[in-house]
């Protein structure tokens, strides 16, 4: 078990003048309040905060951070309170512990909307003080190291998957790659043990030959660099198993086709030496042009700098080489922690603050995003960037996600520039707004006063900020239109019932009615009447309960057509909140079937359209027009669903498929398959199925046909 003296010695190594009194006091307090508690491993609970504090000292953090590492669980797991922490260790420590405690109480194994809310809290805590998330990452790392002590496989897999989904990307985005890699490797072992062991065995095969290869290449690199009188160190390393697996998966490769299982790193003194070494290596071995990346000239958003090149090595095999300075290597290992001063009271410099400005951007997007699922989508975009680097008209370098457009750039500069963006020039020539920016592009934006965003922009913008601002603008326009329509509907309905809508509009009764319907303002209430979520007759019932509203046709009934026949009511299998006999349509874009998570969208004149949650078109909806819908417990009839198939082209394939579908009572509605030159057949066919379970059973059966390589829902 790590000892407190080891941690203090480590602090003195990187900061000889450190005042470690707060660390000593935190250790004594943590030992006292955790006394008698045990870990699943059987060790005293104190072993965990000691390990967390040790990881933080390896990250060379300040003494307050390390003290908080020792205290991070005391509020959650003992009788201690935040007030106790503030009284004993100060306000700074109390704020950090409060942030860590909030994150620790989150559960990511919930519905997506709740998950989005939880991640919101994490991002907000991270923006308030970055040390909160650094401590949480250290906590998650030690918990991952001891994950094997959990007895339930399901729980181990859930925690490991949560680590891959949330904590590993945050570690990467903060540039702390050693934590990212260890979290991924451990989580891969628990989420997919079969593939982990398979890759481990494949890597260990011919290991002696590989070690000899590494030794020879390292000596060659040393000779090349030293011959030019440059001081360097050279390392050879195996790629992590998870990284190999991801590459095999994303590029559909066999293990033998992954050429850069071994990578080499050259560490030098200065930036000019890095470029000189690059030239020497390229003159010795042939480089592969599209595999060269200059992250020194164009650093990654988290501050990572290095030269990456892939060359055809001494045995005709491709090998990856990274070249960087010692300072760059420290940042590559520690990320933002390398910038975090261990000296008390010193803040991050402007350059570092700009490097990690994406955290504040997430907070800004959170404030303007009303829909938690939209916020979660923006977080995913910002946590998994593949950046391009472009030049502004003044020569400033900006980075945007791969696939970003001039509209994304315009919104990055300012919201109004984005709203008024009417055109763009790339390298002096006009391009369409959906043009995908490339590294090295020089961009100019043309604005036009009075110009406004188009809903079509949502189909091609890539950044969370652009999506959020465009949706915000569209929502405001629709709200204005819906308020106008709501007033018109109310005036007609009230007039038919001999009531004066305009007199009642500004009365206390109307304000009370808005509250009764759970709206903050009367305008919100009127807008929802315009959307079709509330009828004018419902409002009359609140304002004048003694009046018996006349159920004559209103503009609302024209906007929301009813079913023509009663039998249709049972056929659709949908329950709509607060509305009866409404015309129901199913989105052809996503083809929902019973068992899918669904949402409804109120359309003018065409009833309610049902989409699967997560459907691209559903995500573009104005949230105010969405309405809660659900499947009936038993939905009669069949539902069309499109499947994608890739298979080896062989005689009798269609007969085998038809036989399976016949056994499973799934009818083929449409089929469109094409033969390829490589003796493969691929395409789509549409089946009529009862529900999601029926579909899953059909797919499982089809997968058992030897010739079929891929079969999945389109």
Helix (H) or strand (E) holding 641, with range, is strand 639-648
Q: Measure the N-to-C terminal CA separation of the chain; round to a whole number of Å.
A: 52
Which residue in 24, 43, 58, 77 is the catalytic one?
A: 77
Radius of gyration of the chain (CA): 31
Strands 639-648 and 680-689, by their bridges, are antiparallel
In a 13 Å sphere around the CA of 11, the CA atoms on its Cβ side amount to 26
Angle at 478 between CA 476 and CA 482, to 5 degrees: 115
How far is the C-alpha of 489 from the C-alpha of 529, rounded, in Å? 8
- Catalytic entry in 6, 9, 35, 76: 76
Specify whether 216 is catalytic.
no
Residue 546, C-beta contacts closer than 8 angstroms, at least 6 positions apart: none
CA atoms of 543 and 108, how far apart (whole Å)? 43
List, in order, residues 6 or more apart from 8 with CB less than 8 Å away. 20, 23, 24
User: Residue 198 — left, alpha, or beta (φ > 0 → left; ψ -120 to 50 → alpha)?
Assistant: alpha
Please state, in angstroms and as integers, the Cα–Cα distance from residue 332 to each residue in 70, 180, 267, 386, 475, following that order: 26, 11, 12, 17, 42
Active site residue 524: no
Which among 316, 315, 230, 214 is positioned nearest to 265, based on CA atoms?
A: 214
Four-residue CA torsion sign, 31, 33, 36, 38: negative
Q: Where are the alpha helices (DSSP H) in 34-152?
A: 47-58, 63-71, 74-77, 82-89, 91-104, 112-128, 131-145
Residues whose CB is less than 8 angstroms from the CB of residue 252 and which lie 6 or more positions away in sequence, other chains included: none
Catalytic residue numbers read: 76-77
């Amino acid at each position: 078990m790590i000892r407190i003296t080891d941690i203090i010695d480590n602090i003195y190594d990187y900061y000889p003048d450190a005042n470690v009194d707060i660390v000593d006091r935190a250790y004594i307090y943590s030992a006292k309040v955790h006394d008698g508690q045990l870990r699943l491993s059987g060790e005293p609970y104190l072993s965990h905060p000691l390990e967390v504090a040790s990881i933080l000292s390896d990250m060379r953090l300040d003494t307050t951070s390390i003290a908080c590492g020792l205290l991070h669980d005391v509020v959650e797991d003992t009788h201690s309170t935040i007030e106790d922490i503030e009284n004993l260790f100060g306000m700074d420590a109390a704020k950090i512990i409060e942030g860590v405690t909030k994150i620790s109480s989150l559960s990511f194994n919930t519905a997506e909307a709740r998950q989005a809310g939880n991640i919101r809290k994490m991002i907000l805590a991270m923006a308030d003080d970055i040390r909160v998330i650094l401590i949480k990452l250290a906590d998650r790392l030690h918990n991952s190291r001891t994950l094997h002590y959990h007895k339930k496989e399901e729980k181990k897999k859930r925690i490991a998957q949560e680590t891959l989904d949330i904590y590993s990307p945050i570690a990467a985005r903060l540039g702390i790659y050693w934590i990212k890699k260890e979290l991924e490797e451990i989580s891969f072992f628990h989420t997919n043990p079969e593939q982990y062991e398979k890759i481990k065995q494949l890597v260990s095969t011919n290991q002696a030959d590989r070690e000899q290869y590494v030794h020879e290449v390292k000596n060659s690199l040393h000779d090349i660099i030293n011959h030019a009188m440059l001081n360097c160190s050279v390392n050879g390393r195996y790629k992590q198993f998870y990284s190999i697996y991801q590459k095999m998966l994303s590029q559909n490769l066999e293990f033998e086709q992954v050429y850069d299982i071994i990578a080499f790193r050259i560490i030098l003194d200065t930036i000019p030496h890095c470029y000189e070494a690059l030239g020497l290596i390229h003159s010795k071995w042939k480089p592969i042009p599209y595999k060269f990346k200059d992250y020194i000239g164009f650093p990654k958003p988290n501050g990572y700098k290095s030269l990456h090149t892939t060359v055809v090595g001494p045995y005709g095999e491709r090998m990856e080489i990274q070249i960087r300075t010692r300072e760059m290597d420290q940042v590559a290992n520690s990320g933002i922690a390398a910038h975090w001063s261990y000296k008390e009271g010193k803040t991050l410099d402007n350059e570092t603050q700009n490097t990690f400005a994406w955290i504040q951007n997430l907070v800004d997007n959170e404030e303007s995003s009303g829909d938690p699922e939209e916020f979660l989508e923006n977080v995913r975009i910002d946590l998994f960037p593949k950046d391009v680097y472009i030049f502004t008209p003044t020569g400033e370098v900006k980075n945007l996600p791969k696939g970003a457009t001039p509209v994304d750039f315009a919104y990055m500069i300012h919201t109004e520039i984005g709203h008024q963006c009417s055109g763009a020039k790339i390298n002096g020539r006009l391009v369409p707004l959906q043009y995908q920016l490339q590294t090295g592009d020089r961009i100019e934006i043309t604005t036009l006063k009075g110009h406004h965003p188009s809903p079509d922009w949502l189909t091609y913008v890539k950044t969370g900020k652009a999506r959020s601002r465009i949706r915000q603008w569209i929502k405001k326009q629709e709200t204005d239109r819906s308020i106008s329509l709501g007033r018109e509907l109310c005036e007609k309905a009230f007039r038919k019932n001999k009531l004066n809508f305009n007199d009642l509009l500004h009365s206390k009764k109307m304000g009370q009615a808005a509250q009764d319907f759970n709206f903050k303002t009367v305008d919100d209430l009127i807008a929802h009447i315009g959307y079709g979520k509330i009828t004018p007759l419902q409002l009359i019932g609140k304002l004048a309960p003694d009046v018996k509203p006349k159920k004559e046709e209103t503009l609302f009934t024209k906007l929301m057509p009813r079913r023509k026949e009663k039998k249709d009511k049972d056929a659709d299998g949908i329950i709509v909140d607060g509305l009866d006999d409404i015309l129901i349509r199913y989105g052809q874009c996503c083809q929902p079937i019973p068992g899918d998570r669904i949402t409804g969208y109120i359309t003018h004149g065409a009833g309610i359209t049902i989409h699967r949650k997560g459907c691209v078109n559903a995500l573009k909806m104005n949230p105010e027009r969405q309405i809660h819908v659900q499947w009936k417990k038993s939905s009669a009839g069949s539902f069309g669903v499109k499947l994608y198939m890739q298979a080896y082209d062989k005689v009798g394939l269609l007969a085998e498929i038809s036989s399976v579908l016949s056994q499973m009572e799934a009818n083929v509605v449409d089929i469109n398959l094409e033969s390829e030159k490589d003796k493969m057949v691929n395409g789509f066919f549409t089946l009529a199925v009862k529900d999601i379970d029926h579909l899953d059973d059909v797919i499982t059966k089809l997968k058992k046909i030897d010739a079929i390589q891929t079969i999945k829902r389109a």
